[in-house]
């Protein structure tokens, strides 16, 4: 009995180590580091393989810059983590574990910690908004939308531009919660990762992302958000919700705005390659279908949906309808069914 208890504790210990290592590896960029000297100055690059195009060098920044060197150290960490992963797998195998899996850990605790930290800085009242799949999860908890499991390690937030609130050090806030800043030179942003738990990304609308506004966000909030298209659909239609464990109400897009945004971005948003991101697109459609059930059953939500659609410019209106029609291409039960597709097209 004592031996079995010891073995069980050892398995749990190694499984925890494996989860942490895999969580870290998920966020370490793949590729090899390169340096080029020009006129006495050294510049850093990350060489990555791009499908259909071969190898490309992505510019990281000037050697010696603190953020650039932090990124370089992060990339160099991959080899060590891979060695650790293999060693832990061998130890688990020796203990009789033949299959190890990445475990989703501490999501609720970290989400509430993030939400409360942003609340202390007053950011929910000043244009910060929860978006993405965690937004859908709040719809489930607060508004009774049918449950659908989270399959993401991202905590996504949108920020309304122009930002007119008080100054806050978001970089420090996230670091104090355990996150590590990660430079993404390809998209001109900095996101934050916490091994085994998740990643924080903040987005702003591309149409309003002038250099002046971006510089103001960097100065006032100490963060580098990513500019994406169509975010205005969400940030122009905020609602608030009270979530268990969060001391103040958080801000998120209304369900009709979320529904329209999902249809537009499923096929026409950034990071939606239909070949490599089919799973993500399918989940977006599923969330749209489940949210649309609540919209269909509520006269107020139906009226709001009609108003949002009426104010869409012609190009987005076309994209929304094309996105709804394209849902049929991603049917795969139980993730997305024919009934889900019919539900989307009936409501839109």
Q: For position 108, what pLDDT does the model report?
A: 63
Name, in order, each residue with C-beta under 8 angstroms of 22's C-beta and a sequence gap of 6 or more: 85, 102, 196
**Ramachandran angles phi, psi of 123, nearest 5°:** -75, -30
Helix (H) / strand (E) element for 58: namely strand 54-62
Q: Could you say which residues of the chain have pLDDT below 50?
A: 101-107
pLDDT in tens, 166-224: 999 999 999 888 888 887 766 677 889 887 677 899 999 999 889 899 999 999 999 88
Q: For position 6, what pLDDT does the model report?
A: 65
pTM of the model: 0.70
Of 13, 160, 170, nearest in space to 97 by CA: 13
**Ramachandran angles phi, psi of 22, nearest 5°:** -65, -40
Q: For position 3, what pLDDT does the model report?
A: 62
> For 125, which DSSP code?
G
Compute CA distances 84 → 24, 91, 237, 302, 336, whole Å: 11, 11, 46, 53, 37
Q: For position 45, what pLDDT does the model report?
A: 86
Q: For position 166, what pLDDT does the model report?
A: 92
Q: For position 104, what pLDDT does the model report?
A: 39
Query: What distance in Å separates the CA atoms of residue 133 and residue 335, rounded to the nearest whole number?
Result: 15
Helix (H) / strand (E) element for 163: namely none
């Amino acid at each position: 009995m004592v031996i079995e208890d010891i073995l069980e504790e050892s398995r749990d210990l190694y499984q925890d180590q494996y989860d942490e290592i895999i969580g870290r590896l998920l966020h370490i960029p793949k590729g090899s580091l390169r340096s080029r000297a020009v006129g006495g100055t050294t510049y850093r690059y990350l060489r990555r393989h791009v499908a259909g195009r071969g190898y490309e060098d992505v510019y990281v920044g000037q050697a010696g810059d603190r953020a650039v060197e932090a990124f370089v150290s992060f990339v160099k960490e991959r080899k060590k983590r891979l060695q650790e992963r293999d060693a832990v797998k061998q130890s688990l195998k020796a203990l009789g574990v033949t299959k190890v899996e990445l475990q989703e850990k501490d999501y609720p605790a970290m989400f509430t910690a993030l939400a409360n930290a942003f609340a202390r800085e007053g950011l929910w009242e000043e244009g910060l908004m929860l978006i993405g799949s965690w937004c859908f999860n709040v719809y489930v908890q607060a508004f009774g939308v049918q449950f659908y499991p989270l399959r993401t390690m991202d905590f996504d937030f949108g920020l309304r531009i122009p930002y007119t609130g008080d100054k806050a050090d978001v970089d420090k806030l996230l670091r104090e919660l355990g996150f590590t800043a990660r430079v993404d030179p390809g998209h001109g942003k900095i996101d934050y990762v916490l091994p085994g738990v998740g990643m924080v990304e903040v987005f702003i609308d591309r149409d309003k992302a002038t250099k002046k506004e971006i510089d103001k966000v960097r100065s006032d909030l100490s963060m580098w958000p990513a500019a994406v298209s169509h975010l205005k659909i969400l940030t122009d239609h905020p609602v608030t919700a009270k979530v268990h464990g969060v001391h103040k109400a958080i801000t998120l897009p209304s369900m009709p705005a979320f529904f329209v945004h999902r249809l537009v971005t499923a096929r026409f948003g950034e990071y939606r390659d239909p070949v490599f991101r089919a799973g993500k697109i399918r989940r977006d459609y599923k969330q749209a279908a489940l949210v649309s059930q609540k919209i269909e059953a509520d006269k107020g939500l139906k009226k709001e949906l009609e108003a949002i659609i009426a104010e869409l410019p012609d190009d987005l209106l076309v994209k929304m309808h094309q996105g709804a029609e394209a849902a049929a291409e991603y049917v795969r039960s139980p993730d997305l069914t024919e009934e889900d597709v019919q539900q989307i097209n009936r409501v839109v």
